[in-house]
Amino acid sequence: MSLIPDERTWRRWLAVAAFCAAAANLASIAVAHVFLGLGLALLLLRPGSVRVPPVAWPLVALLAWTLASVAGSDAPFEALPQIKKFFVFAMLPLVYTAFRSAEACRRSAESWFVVVLCACALASAQFVVSALDSVGDGGDFYRLYVDDRITGFYSHWMTFSQASVLVLVALGCYLVFARKRAGFGIWLAVAGVVAVALLLSFTRSAWLALVACGLYLVAIHKPRALAVVPVVLLVGYFAAPDALQQRVRSIRPAANQARIVMWRTGLNMIGAHPLLGVGPERAGPLFAEFQPSDVGELPPGFYGHLHNVYIHFAAERGIPAALIVLWLFARILLDMRNGLRRLSEARDDRRFLLHAGVAGTLAVGILSCFDVSLGDSEVLGAFLALVAIAYRGIPDRPVGDPAS
């Protein structure tokens, strides 16, 4: 008796593993990795049935260059966490192989909306508790809260906000471009809950990413409305509580000296090791060695990484690694644009998937300017799952082609 299930059973099991891995990734990384491991095992049972989108090539190049950087590192064994993270990249072939129709991709995305709704509801409750504690203690709410913000299901507020941004922009595309069906009002309410939680997260990079993706959606769907966007933003700012206004004002460079020191230090690392970098996981331990000479006492901040994917990857793994990341983003955007050109203007689940691919990539590209987003397993897994379903939105032939 063969241990390999028949094709139909194999595909059913694979779909379950992919569905659970992608959804659980937004709630519990441990549970997600159990299903991701199961899905990878199923893929290995039938390697001839595995499919990957064209964007797999930049990812393969990034993994290969990471290994080259490890080989050139002065402490290669310290790179083990990054090597272990290769496992997360299996999300792309798993989801892409498992979900072959736009309907299956839509259902998977809807599960992400529900999971993040729960995370944001929990995060909003955490905010209320923090606010009440601050009022009860008579302390400075802004100062206390910024150092201990809401996290939802996650271990850190940056992970919470970045994963939520990815799902919210996908949900925005769903509301604007997907085929209309019952429950539209419910999904609109879900988007409202997630948006409020992201506002309460006080995560400035998340706000910038949301504004950029919002502008993208408005430009595509209602371009004339772009004229009122600055007015809406200004009214929103002046109507916001003082704590939110303070957070917006803190975006200025003078209030972010720690990040500037990190980026300058990263540039020194790149100058000294342009090809292979200082080695994965070595930017933090070697920070003092490359710290700018005119910087004495470091401003308050976390100096374990460089808070910028492009600088951090170039410093750790060499300039080619940063260029590969840009290649990855550019390839996704180009493929999504070409796919949209082959679709009609009518609301369609494939249009939702393709626009979600564009908006999600824009969001990650912006988030990556202020954090090592792709170094976070939850954010990386969510992004790869989103990219996988986005590529399933590309039609085989243009709509209206007699052969389609």
Element (H, E) at 25: none
User: Given pLDDT bands bounded at 50, 70 and 90, which one contains residue 402?
Assistant: very low
DSSP 68-85: HHHHH-SSGGGGHHHHHG
Domain ranges of the chain: 7-255+302-391
Name the average pLDDT for the chain. Answer: 92
- Over residues 355-398, the pLDDT tens digits come to 999 999 999 999 999 999 999 999 999 999 999 999 999 987 65
- Over residues 272-327, the pLDDT tens digits come to 999 999 999 999 999 999 999 998 889 988 999 999 999 999 999 999 999 999 99
User: Given pLDDT bands bounded at 50, 70 and 90, which one contains residue 131?
Assistant: confident
Are the CB atoms for 24 and 66 separated by under 8 Å? no
Tell me the mean pLDDT in the region 214-243: 92
Helix (H, G, I), strand (E, B) or coil at 376: coil
User: Given pLDDT bands bounded at 50, 70 and 90, which one contains residue 182?
Assistant: confident
pTM: 0.94
Are the CB atoms for 134 and 238 separated by under 8 Å? no
Q: Has residue 404 got a pLDDT over 70?
A: no
Element (H, E) at 339: helix 319-341
CA 45, CA 14: separation in Å to the nearest integer?
11
Greater pLDDT, 300 or 172: 172
| CB proximity list for 272: less than 8 A, separation 6 or greater | 278, 290
Of 187, 202, 200, the closest CA to residue 124 belongs to 200
Burial annotation 348-368 (CB, 10 A radius, 16+ → b, else e): bbbbbbbbbbbbbbbbbbbbb
Element (H, E) at 369: none
Direct distance between the N- and C-terminal alpha carbons of the chain, in angstroms, rounded to an integer: 40
CA 220, CA 5: separation in Å to the nearest integer?
45
Q: Has residue 188 got a pLDDT over 60?
A: yes
At position 279, the amino acid (one-letter code) is G
Q: Is 329 exposed, middle or buried (0-12, 13-18, 19+ CB in 10 A)?
A: middle
Burial annotation 45-68 (CB, 10 A radius, 16+ → b, else e): eeeeeeeebebbebbebbeebbbb
User: Given pLDDT bands bounded at 50, 70 and 90, which one contains residue 137?
Assistant: low
Residues in the chain, total: 404
Place of tokens 């792309």: 92
Tell me the mean pLDDT in the region 239-264: 90
Tell me the mean pLDDT in the region 5-27: 95
CA 61, CA 57: separation in Å to the nearest integer?
6
User: Given pLDDT bands bounded at 50, 70 and 90, which one contains residue 57?
Assistant: very high
Are the CB atoms for 367 and 159 separated by under 8 Å? no
Are the CB atoms for 129 and 144 separated by under 8 Å? no
Q: Which pair of structure tokens corresponds to residue 45?
A: 């049972």
CA 213, CA 393: separation in Å to the nearest integer?
19
Angle between the 377-391 and 319-341 helix axes, to the nearest 10 degrees? 30
Residue 314: C-alpha distances to residues 251, 260, 270, 309, 372 (Å)? 24, 16, 6, 8, 12
Report the percentage of the chain scoring pLDDT > 70.
96
Report the percentage of the chain scoring pLDDT > 90.
83
User: Given pLDDT bands bounded at 50, 70 and 90, which one contains residue 403?
Assistant: very low
CA 100, CA 170: separation in Å to the nearest integer?
19
| CB proximity list for 64: less than 8 A, separation 6 or greater | none
| CB proximity list for 21: less than 8 A, separation 6 or greater | 32, 33, 35, 36, 38, 39, 91, 94, 95, 381, 385
| CB proximity list for 144: less than 8 A, separation 6 or greater | 130, 134
The DSSP letter of residue 275 is: T
User: Given pLDDT bands bounded at 50, 70 and 90, which one contains residue 1?
Assistant: very low
Of 30, 92, 175, the closest CA to residue 390 belongs to 92
Half-sphere exposure of 174 (CA within 13 A, CB side): 28
Of 312, 304, 273, the closest CA to residue 287 belongs to 304
- What is the reported pLDDT for 398? 54
